[in-house]
Structure 1
Amino acid sequence: MRVLCDVHISYRLVNRLRELGVDATHVNRILDGSETTDSAISAFVDKNDMLLITKDGDFRDSHFLRGTPARMVRLILGNLSNTEVIAIVEASWSSIAACCSATSCYIELSREGMVLGARSQPPG
């Protein structure tokens, strides 16, 4: 499983995912780092068969309107410590990992729990 963590995702989460055997990378390590556009991130994730973990609502809109990125997790956890965010992601990891086997998948993680969504058909 390959994961790309967006710019506002902690390196601690990237490192924890690696400890769990996930091929995780931070966006600052690819393309133009923190200056990489959302469309370039989406294209990179899709081209490399990755799951995007982000806090950015623009990716949600792009996922549902244009189908890219195809697989993503959006964290809407508010102001939590990195330790708390990591614990929530770990507790949901089996569902997140299942997302990686789907062609298209959208997951939102919030303090209230997890919401799964998927686009029913390609755009256009």
Structure 2
Amino acid sequence: MLAAHGHDSVHVNQILNGSSTPDSAITQYADQNDYIVITKDTDFRNAYLLKKSPRKLIRVCLGNITNDRLLALFENQLVLIKKLDQEDSFYMEINPDTILIY
């Protein structure tokens, strides 16, 4: 979906050591390549709040939802995400009823 909208994207399984890559290596890779990390993992949020790394982070806090609903939520936020991507650093949290940006 991201590629279809003109955004470069890569899944963690396609880089480094795939799903066994440590969070710190994912963070370093994302920061070096100016990628946004999209995750459900609170460890990335904690690292961002403590160290501002990864520099660009979207945390999905939606529980179990269908892929179609998840993709629709992201499609609805692409303009905002593109705007945030111009910043040096941001943290965005997508919740069922709210979107928080730090």
- Taking the TM superposition and a 5 Å limit, the aligned residue runs for 1:24-103 are 24-103=9-88
- SS of equivalent to 2:10: strand
Aligned to 1:121: none
Residue 72 of structure 2 aligns with an amino acid whose one-letter code is: A
- Return 5+ residue gaps in structure 1 as ranges: 1-15, 118-124
- Tell me which protein shows more strand as a share of its residues: 1
Structure 1 residue ranges, 4+ long, deviating more than 3 angstroms after superposition: none
The superposition leaves residues 17-42 of structure 1 with CA deviations (integer Å, 9 ceiling, x where unpaired) of 11111101100000000000000000
The amino acid of 1:17's aligned partner reads: L
Partner Cα distance (1:21, 1:113) in 2: 26
The share of aligned pairs that are identical, in percent, is: 37
Shift of 1:52: 0.8
Q: Distance in 2 between matches of 1:51 and 1:98?
A: 12
Q: Does 1:20 align with 2:5?
A: yes
**C-alpha RMSD of the superposition:** 0.7
Larger relative helix fraction: 2
Q: The residue matched to 2:88 in structure 1 has which SS? A: coil
In the alignment of these two chains, the number of paired residues is 102
TM-score, scaled to structure 2 = 0.97
Letter in 2 for 1:94: V
